[in-house]
Amino acid sequence: MSNDNPAADDAYVDDSKTGKPIEENLKSGVTWMRGLFMLVSCVLASVALFAGGVIVVLGFFWVLFTGAVNDEIKAVGQSVATYIYNISRFLTFNTDERPFPLGGAWPAGIAAEQNDA
């Protein structure tokens, strides 16, 4: 065994409290309210995913029968996709902004232009 490694008794222990104690987290009303909003957001995401599937099928049949993309269906599809994205960001703690109808507004159906260079 090598003498280069310190003994386990000499290991550095960081005693500084950088976070809240677990008791505070468990009793925090803010945390439980976010949990409730997250649960409702999961239900709303399921509904939005179903609606998105219906929009995809409608858009496909529109193109199949007319040969042209329907701009209204495309805008609604973009709006639902953005809504699902907003819910995902809230559920993964990437934002504190609650999605529609829990706090935010319904997203616009206009896609951000992307360069395909």
> How far, in Å, CA of 66 to CA of 30, rounded?
51
Task: Give the percent of the chain with pLDDT over 90.
Answer: 56
The DSSP-derived string for 7-55 is: PGGG--------S--HHHHHH-HHHHHHHHHHHHHHHHHHHHHHHHHHH
Alpha-carbon distance values, 115 to 78, 85, 112 (Å): 17, 20, 10
Residue 37's pLDDT band (cuts 50, 70, 90): very high
For the cut 90, the answer to whether the pLDDT of residue 17 exceeds it is: no
